[in-house]
Amino acid sequence: MKIVMLGAPGAGKGTQAKMLSEKYGIPHISTGDIFRMNIKNNTELGKKAKGYMDAGQLVPDELVVDLVVDRIKAKDCMQGFILDGFPRTIPQAEALDYALNNQNEKIDYAINVDVPDEHIVERMSGRRACSDCGATYHVVTIPSKKEGICDVCGGTLVLREDDKPETVKKRLEVYHEQTKPLIDYYNKKENLLKVDGTQGIQVVFEEITKVLG
Ligand code: AP5
Ligand code: MG
C-alpha cells in the first residue's frame, strides 16, 4: 500500500503515519525528519535545508525530489510506504507520479488530515520532540511519562525550532499557497481520503483504517 499524508503543519500527519506504519508493516518516510537528522549531523544537505526550515519556508524541490524517489526504490518499500510531508508542491507530486508510473505503480491513498488553522498554533506550541529519536509528544494531549524525557529512548525533549508561533504562522501561509492545491490534485485522481483531524488521535486512526482495511 502506497500512501501520502496531506495536511497543514501540526495536523497530525506524523502521529498517524507512525501508527499506520506499525499496523501495515510499511516504512514511514518523513522528509522533515530526514532534514532534521541531516541538520543534527551537520551534513551538506542539512546545511542547505536549515535556513529554509527555520524561516518556515519550503526547502527547494530539487533538494527533496531525488532524495524521496531514491528512498522509495529501497528494498523495504517493496510492499509500500507512507510518505509524510512529501509531496508538498505540485511539481513534487508530478515527479513522484512520474517515478511511480515508470514502475507501473501509483499512490493508493492520499490521506488529508484536516485541521483548521485556529487549532494549529496551540498544538504546535505544546508539541515536544525527542532530539535523539524524533518521537513526538504533546504537553497536554500526549505527555511523556517523565517531563522532558523521551519514553522511547531516554533522550531530551525539545520544542522544535520552527514551532515558535511566528514561524508557525509563516508555515501555515506557505501551506495554503503551495501545499493545499495538492488536495485537489489527488481528488481528481480519485484516491483522496479526507479525515477530520480535530478528533482524538485514536478516532482519527480508526476512521483511516476503516477505509484502508
Ligand atoms: P515537517 O517536519 O513535515 O513539518 P510539517 O508539515 O510542518 O508538519 P509537522 O511535522 O509540524 O506536523 P504533523 O502534521 O506531522 O503533526 P504531528 O503528528 O507532529 O517539515 C518541516 C519543514 O521541513 C518544512 O517547513 C519545510 O521547510 C521542510 N520540508 C519537509 N518536507 C519538505 C518537502 N517535501 N518540500 C520542501 N520542504 C520540506 O502533531 C502535531 C502535534 O499535535 C503533536 O504534539 C501531536 O502530539 C499533537 N496531535 C497529533 N494529532 C492530534 C490529535 N488528533 N488531537 C490532539 N493532538 C494531536
Ligand atoms: Mg511531522
Q: Encode pLDDT of 12-35 as tens digits.
A: 999 999 999 999 999 999 999 999
How much is the pLDDT for 24?
A: 98
What is the structure's pLDDT at 150? 97
pLDDT digits (tens, 9 = 90+) for 78-124: 999 999 999 999 999 999 999 999 999 999 999 999 999 989 988 89
What's the maximum distance between 2 C-alpha atoms anywhere in the chain? 48
| Cell, residue 142 | 500526549
Q: Name the residue among 167, 131, 157, 166 with its Cα closest to residue 54.
A: 167
In 3D, which of 29, 130, 14 has the Cα closest to residue 76?
A: 29
Higher pLDDT, 190 or 174: 174
Name the catalytic one among 18, 48, 71, 160.
160
Residues whose beta carbons lie less than 5 angstroms from ion ligand 2? 14
Taking the C-alpha atoms of residue 174 and residue 169, their distance in angstroms, rounded to an integer, is 9
Cα separations (Å) of 199 from 106, 175, 209, 210? 29, 21, 15, 15
* CA distance linking residue 205 with residue 199, whole number of Å: 10
Contact assessment for residue 90 and residue 179, using Cβ atoms and an 8 Å cutoff = no
Report the candidate in 155, 196, 139, 179 with the shortest Cα–Cα distance to residue 56: 179
Q: How far apart are the first and last CA of the chain?
A: 11
Bridge partners of 128, per DSSP, are: 137
Q: Is 106 a catalytic residue?
A: no
What pLDDT was estimated at residue 122? 85
Residue with the three cell numbers 483522496: 192
Distance (angstroms) between ligand 1 centre and the Cα of 10 equals 4
Contact criterion met (CB below 8 Å) for 38 and 145: no
Ligand 1 center–CA 104 separation, angstroms: 30
134 in ligand 1 pocket by Cβ < 6 Å?
no
**Ligand 1 center–CA 121 separation, angstroms:** 12
Residue 161 banded pLDDT, cuts 50, 70, 90 = confident
Which of 31, 65, 202, 208 is the pocket-test mutation for ligand 1 (most atoms within 8 Å of CB)?
31
Residue 125, all three cell numbers: 506550541
122: phi then psi, degrees, rounded to nearest 5: -65, -45
Q: Is 171 considered catalytic here?
A: yes
Q: Which of 2, 123, 127, 128 is catalytic?
A: 127
Q: Whose CA is nearest to atom 39 of ligand 1?
A: 12
Q: Is 13 a catalytic residue?
A: yes
The pLDDT of residue 130:
94
The C-alpha cell at 61 is 524541490
